[in-house]
Amino acid sequence: MTYVFQQLLNALQVGSIYALIALGYTMVYGILTMINFAHGDLFMVGAFFCFFAAIFLNLPFVPVLVISMVGVALLGVVIERCAYKPLRQAPRVSAIITALGVGLFLENFTLALNPYPKQVPQLLANTTWIFHGVSISSIALFIVILSLLLMLMLDLIVRRTMVGMAMRAISWDKAVVPLLGVPVDLIISLTFAIGTSLGGAAGVMYGLAYPVIDPYMGIMVGWKAFISAVVGGIGNIRGAMIGGYILGALEILVVAVMPSTYRDFVAFVLLLILLIFRPYGILGKPHPQKV
C-alpha cells in the first residue's frame, strides 16, 4: 500500500510538470489552430533563465521564478511577432515548420553559449518527510501545489476576465471577433505570453526537481506535454491539465507494475487506444469542417 501511494506521489509530480507545459500548447492551438513546437524549448530556456538568475544575480526563489516567467513570456511574444505573425495567412504547414525551426534555433543557441550540462543550485530547502513509510520531499510537494495554483489562476483568467473572454471569442471565430473591436493581435500576444510563462515556470520547477539541465532537455518533455495536450483534447485548457496528469500517472504506473523497459511502449499504446475511442481527446469537441 505504501508502495502504491509512493508511486502515486511520483506520478503527481511528473504529471504536474507535463500539465503546465501542455497548457502552453493547448492555449496557442486554441487561439491560432497552430502547434507551437518551439514550446518545449521555451521550457528549456525557462530552466536556463532560472540557472542564470540564481547563479549570476544570486537571487532567492521567488524573484528567480518571476524573472524566468517574465523572460520566457517576452521571448514567446517576440517569437510570435517575428516568426509566426508574418505566416498567419500562410498554409498551416509553413507555420508548423517555422515553429520547429524556432525550437532548433533555441536549442542550438543555448548550446553555442555553453554546451555543458548545468547544475541548478538548491533554491529551496529540501527536506524529506517519512510518513508511514512513504517519503514525501518538500520539493515534490511544492511543485504539485505551485502547479495547481498556477493552473487555477489560468482557469480564472480565461473564464472570469475580459481578456479571457476575448481569448475564448477569438478561438471561437476569428473572422467576426475583430469586427466587434477586439484587438486580435494584442490578445494573441497575451495568449503567447501567458502560455509560455507557464512553460517558464515549469522549467524552473523542473530545475528544482531535476537539477541537471542541458539544452536538449526540452525535446522529450515537450513531446510528452504535446501528447498530453492532444489526449486531453487540444485547444481545451482543462483537458490539457487532465492529459498531463494522465500521462504522468501512466508512465509511473507502468513502471510500477511491469519491467521499466516497457514504460513508453505500454503508456503510448494505452494513449493510442484512448484516442481511437475519443479522437478529439478527453474533453475535446468535434469541430465539423466548414465547407
Partner 1 sequence: MKKIFFPLTVCMAMVLLLTGCSSDDASSIRVGVIAELTGDMPAVGESCKKAAEMAVQQVNDAGGIEIAGKKYPLKLFIEDNAGKADQSASAAQKLITQEKVHAVIGPNATRYALPASEIAESSKVVLITPWSTSPKTTLDAKTNAPKKYVFRACFIDPFQGRVVAKFAMDTLKAKKAAVLYDVASEYNKGIAEIFRETFEKNGGAIVAFETYTTNDKDFSGQLTKIKKAAPDMIFLPNYYSEVPLQIQQAKRLGIAVPFVGSDSWGSQELLKLCGKDCEGYYFSTHYAADAATPVATKFIEGFKAKYANLPDDVAALTYDSFGLLFQALKSCGTLDRGAIRDALAKIPLYEGVTGNMQFKDGSGDPTKSAVIVKIKDGKFVYFASAAP
- Residues of the shown chain interacting with partner 1 in the complex, contacts defined by CB under 8 A: 3, 6-7, 10-11, 13-14, 111, 115-117, 119, 126, 128, 130, 135, 137, 139-140, 206, 209-212, 214, 216-217, 219-221, 251-253, 255-256, 259-261, 263-264
Q: Identify which of residues 187 and 249 has a Cβ nearer to partner 1 in the complex.
A: 249
- Minimal distance, residue 55 CB to partner 1, in Å: 12
187/221 with CB nearer partner 1: 221
Q: Which is nearer to partner 1, 12 or 31 (CB)?
A: 12
**Neighbour tally for 66: CB within 10 Å:** 16
Residue 291 is classified by DSSP as -
The residue among 168 and 263 lying less far from partner 1, judged by its C-beta, is: 263
What letter represents residue 168's amino acid?
R
Beta strands in 120-266 (DSSP E): 128-131, 134-137, 212-213
Nearer to partner 1, 39 or 224 (CB): 224
- Residue from 161, 162, 153, 155 nearest 240 by CA: 155
Between CA 117 and CA 2 the distance in angstroms is 35
Least Å distance, CB 212 to partner 1, is 5
DSSP label of 136: E
Q: Give me the least distance between CB of 61 and partner 1, in Å please.
A: 18
Minimum Å distance from CB 288 to partner 1? 39
Residues 6+ apart with CB under 8 A from 245: 11, 12, 15, 16, 18, 19
161 CB burial (10 A radius; 0-12, 13-18, 19+): exposed
Q: Which is nearer to partner 1, 108 or 161 (CB)?
A: 108
137 pairs with which residues across the strands? 128
CB of 287 to partner 1, least distance (A): 35
User: How many CB atoms lie under 10 A from the CB of residue 216?
Assistant: 15
**What's the min distance (Å) between Cβ of 198 and partner 1?**
19
Q: In the bound complex, what is the minimum distance in angstroms from residue 152's beta carbon to partner 1?
A: 24
Q: d(Cα 193, Cα 142) in Å, to the nearest integer?
A: 24
Best CA proximity match to 166, nearest among 152, 186, 194, 150? 186
**Closer Cβ to partner 1, 115 or 181, answer by number:** 115
Integer distance in angstroms from the first to the last C-alpha of the chain? 55
